[in-house]
Structure 1
Amino acid sequence: MTSLPEDPSPLIGEDDRDTAVQRLQEAYTEGHISHEEMDERLHQVLTAKTHGELVPALASLPEKKADTMSTISAASGRIQRRGAWRVPRVLKVESAFGRLHLDLSRAVIEHPVIDVELQLGAGKAKITVPRDAIVEVEDLRTVWKDPRYKTGRRPRPGGGPTIRISGAMEYGRLTIRHARR
């Protein structure tokens, strides 16, 4: 007796299933699939055990749009984003106590203007921006120390993104620097 080959796809977790359900709901809401088609595909997603079984249910759906707003928050401790991460159009950062380090130098920036809204109580904050970015900090209110920012080289027209930093900082200092490369 010959056994059937097993599906080499890895098993899916609840996060994968939730993401697939969310994509189906968005496609239905935006009118890309009918109610009947959503029910059928939803059944496929909810009964799928492997990634290979998810593929037909998600086939022909539009690609997921990049998030336009995101919030990072912590009561205390360190907030850090670095490496290749996708930067939303509006990024809100909230922390009562702790340190913040946002490194945008290797991040995926898909928008010409990025708004970073800081709501920081106490602690140091450091933001590293791409070499050719234009930085605006006029809308940042500080209580204790002014931001430390040395303008980079003269930006090229149409070069890098504009990073607008706003919000409020109680006790601490914001340091902004351009990436060296």
Structure 2
Amino acid sequence: MATLPEDPSSPIGEDDRETAMRRLQEAYAEGHISHQALDEGLDQVLTARTGAELAVPLASLPRERPPTTSTIAAASGRIRRRGVWQVPRVLKVASAFGKVNLDLSRAVIEHPVVDIELQLGTGRAKITVPRDAIVDFGDLHTGWKDVRYRPRQPSRPGGPRIRITGAMGFGRLRIRHARR
């Protein structure tokens, strides 16, 4: 996926133009802009020569959403996500040998349901979910050890549902709720 040029005075390429047209079309399909605004925006995009001219029709659009599916893979070593990060609708995590640590406690979760698909050979995995999350791991297949999880009552309604699926060979998955 192409990104728009950082320098507003730089000339734009066809990839920049296509990205801008796609963003306008998505905004129209999601009901954020009218048909007339779409036509005007596309006209501006097609005639734009610089990054500044291209930014004008995109200025009023909502920020771009992250991809709905993302994959994190490593042959060995550590996979770690923590702090503030954008959680996609579907997150695929694959590791042959190593540790996985996913901390969703401060992550930005925009979807009511998040699917985490684990494909792990050996090694441990630890997933920290938000305090009010509902966790479902019934479709996770483990080869050697079981899953450690102590469910808690959600502190407030409306928390995300975290569904964990996939397969783990020789390792243990530990799921815990954030304390705050």
TM-score, normalising length: structure 1: 0.75
> Contact conserved, 2:132 with 2:156, CA < 8 A, in 1?
no
Larger radius of gyration: 1
Mapped contact 1:78–1:99 kept (Cα < 8 A): yes
Residue 140 of structure 1 is matched in structure 2 by 140
Deviation of the 1:171 alpha carbon: 1.3
Question: Which whole-Å CA distance do the structure 2 matches of 1:103 and 1:18 have between them?
Answer: 38
Residues 1:157 and 1:132: Cα distance change in structure 2 (over 3 Å): closer
The two structures, once aligned, show a CA RMSD in angstroms of: 2.8
* Partner Cα distance (1:18, 1:151) in 2: 51
Does residue 1:26 correspond to 2:26, yes or no?
no
Which residue of structure 1 lines up, in the alignment, with residue 176 of structure 2? 177
**1:96-140 superposed Cα distances (whole Å, 9 cap, x missing partner):** 111100000011111111111101111110000111111111000
Q: CA separation of 1:133/1:24 partners in 2, compared to 1, >3 Å: closer, same or farther?
A: same
- Structure-2 separation of matches of 1:57 and 1:99: 45
In the alignment, structure 2 segments of 5+ residues that lack a partner are: 1-5, 29-37
Who is 1:129 aligned against?
129
- Is the contact between residue 149 and residue 174 of structure 2 (CA under 8 Å) also seen in structure 1? yes
| Partner SS for 1:26 | helix
Opposite residue 23 of structure 2, the aligned amino acid is A
1:112·1:162 contact (CA, 8 Å) conserved in 2? yes
Distance 2:68 2:77 in 1: 26
Percentage of matched positions with identical amino acids: 56
Residues of 1 paired with 2:160 and 2:15: CA distance?
30
Are residues 1:74 and 2:74 paired?
Answer: yes
Whole-Å separation in 1 of the counterparts to 2:22 and 2:74:
29
**Match of 1:101?**
101
Gaps (5+ residues) in structure 1? Answer: 1-9, 46-51
1:163 is the counterpart of 2:162: yes
Q: What is the identity, as a one-letter code, of the residue corresponding to 1:174?
A: L
Whether the aligned pair in 2 keeps the contact of 1:105 and 1:130 (CA below 8 Å) is: yes
